[in-house]
Chain A
């Protein structure tokens, strides 16, 4: 120990109470106050504040989530409704279009029938006209032939009537085709 320079300094006893006790009491108090004011106070407060903030945020997020879920359900319901409506509309218009098409076809058919009928009538009329003309010509020819045979100039009007009667009696059916 004699080599140790510091041993030359005065030492207090190893086990004795001294003024150091008072110093240490004050030091401990100072250290306590420092740690409380500058370390534990701020850090604990800060952590508490942050914890509260996080709790609030989580709660807020939960609330938002709930709202979002509700909105989502609402929109889904609305969407479903809209789809249904859309289907109805499509169905309605399809039906209407079908009806309309059916009507058009029906009118067209009726028109065609009408036209057919008209055509028939026209044909009939033409035919009758032609037959009548033929009848006229035949009677004229007959009169001509008969006058030559008889060599007697008959009254043309009397003969015409006579021949017409004859032709009628013979039957028109012979001339139909």
Chain B
């Protein structure tokens, strides 16, 4: 804990527990999605129009994605898939509004990847039965048991760190760039107003926030679906 570095700022304390901006921004995202859900599903009409059309499209795309990747019978995972996609997607691009992305915090990404891990193990165990589940770790030969366990545990770690690394890299590069552009303006024009900060970072924002952000949210979601449905087969 300190005042330097790129970690998330502490917004306030509950007793002794620090609440970081990761958590507050997450609350904001939850609030926005909650309001969006309520507003969009309010008096739905048979003939979809406007917002309802968009929501129906989003939901049916996520439903379709779930069915396609996890099979028709695992349709019930659609809300979970939607949660991952919405939460990670919005988190990753919220940097455009000046917030610190919650996914630029290892706690968030590990929380999500461990959730996926727990679901993977739980549904694997449930659908295979304890015998087949245990036997799976002894395949193709019992000697590989340690490797299988490491491989299984590596999934959530790689999943969580991949997302975290991508997003936090964007955050660090962008803040370094802003600092540098501020310094350049002062140096070149002798002004205290960081003029170069306007316009120049846009291209990098498009890459780091929009492109990498949406891509990473998609990768995380797809891999989660593959892990869970893979464990169930």
Chain B residues whose CB sits within 8 angstroms of the CB of A13 once the complex forms: 1-2, 5, 7
- Total contacts A to B, CB within 8 angstroms? 151
Tell whether, in the assembled complex, residue B111 and residue A43 are in contact, meaning their CB atoms are under 8 Å apart: no
Chain B minimum-CB-distance residue to A19: B17
Tell whether, in the assembled complex, residue A31 and residue B33 are in contact, meaning their CB atoms are under 8 Å apart: yes
Chain B residues whose CB sits within 8 angstroms of the CB of A19 once the complex forms: 17-19
Tell me whether chain A's interface is mostly helix, strand or loop, or mixed.
helix
Tell whether, in the assembled complex, residue A9 and residue B10 are in contact, meaning their CB atoms are under 8 Å apart: yes
Tell whether, in the assembled complex, residue B82 and residue A24 are in contact, meaning their CB atoms are under 8 Å apart: no
A window 131-171: CB within 8 A of B: none
Chain B residues whose CB sits within 8 angstroms of the CB of A7 once the complex forms: 3-4
If A11-B3, A13-B5, A34-B34 touch, whether A44 touches B59 (CB-CB below 8 Å) is yes
Tell whether, in the assembled complex, residue A34 and residue B55 are in contact, meaning their CB atoms are under 8 Å apart: no
Cα separation A36 to B168 with both chains bound (whole Å): 29
Tell me whether chain B's interface is mostly helix, strand or loop, or mixed.
helix
Tell whether, in the assembled complex, residue B63 and residue A28 are in contact, meaning their CB atoms are under 8 Å apart: no
Tell whether, in the assembled complex, residue B83 and residue A20 are in contact, meaning their CB atoms are under 8 Å apart: no
Chain A residues whose CB sits within 8 angstroms of the CB of B56 once the complex forms: 43, 46-47
Tell whether, in the assembled complex, residue A9 and residue B3 are in contact, meaning their CB atoms are under 8 Å apart: yes
Chain B residues whose CB sits within 8 angstroms of the CB of A46 once the complex forms: 41, 44, 56
A window 8-29: CB within 8 A of B: 8-21, 23-25, 27-28
Tell whether, in the assembled complex, residue B107 and residue A27 are in contact, meaning their CB atoms are under 8 Å apart: no
Tell whether, in the assembled complex, residue A11 and residue B86 are in contact, meaning their CB atoms are under 8 Å apart: no
Tell whether, in the assembled complex, residue B55 and residue A43 are in contact, meaning their CB atoms are under 8 Å apart: yes
Tell whether, in the assembled complex, residue A20 and residue B23 are in contact, meaning their CB atoms are under 8 Å apart: yes
Chain A residues whose CB sits within 8 angstroms of the CB of B209 once the complex forms: none
Chain B minimum-CB-distance residue to A29: B115
The answer to the question of B30 belonging to the interface, with a C-beta cut-off of 8 Å to chain A, is yes
Chain B minimum-CB-distance residue to A8: B3
Cα separation A19 to B78 with both chains bound (whole Å): 29
Chain A residues whose CB sits within 8 angstroms of the CB of B34 once the complex forms: 34, 38
Chain A minimum-CB-distance residue to B60: A47
The answer to the question of B218 belonging to the interface, with a C-beta cut-off of 8 Å to chain A, is no
Cα separation A10 to B37 with both chains bound (whole Å): 35
Cα separation A28 to B7 with both chains bound (whole Å): 21
Tell whether, in the assembled complex, residue B5 and residue A25 are in contact, meaning their CB atoms are under 8 Å apart: no
| Contact with B82, one of A10, A23, A39, A50 (Cβ below 8 angstroms) | A39
Enumerate 15 A-B pairs (CB-CB under 8 Å) in ascending A order: A1-B4, A10-B2, A11-B5, A13-B7, A17-B106, A18-B18, A21-B111, A24-B105, A25-B115, A31-B86, A38-B38, A39-B40, A39-B55, A40-B82, A44-B63
Known: A21-B110, A44-B63. 19 other contacts (CB 8 A): A10-B9, A11-B1, A11-B8, A11-B10, A13-B1, A13-B2, A18-B18, A23-B22, A23-B107, A24-B22, A24-B26, A27-B23, A31-B30, A39-B36, A39-B41, A40-B78, A42-B41, A43-B40, A53-B46
Point out residues on A near B: beta carbons under 8 Å.
1, 3-4, 6-21, 23-25, 27-28, 30-32, 34-36, 38-44, 46-47, 50, 53
Point out residues on B near A: beta carbons under 8 Å.
1-10, 17-20, 22-23, 26-27, 29-30, 33-34, 36-38, 40-41, 44, 46, 55-56, 59-60, 62-63, 78-80, 82-83, 86-87, 102, 105-108, 110-112, 115, 168, 179, 182
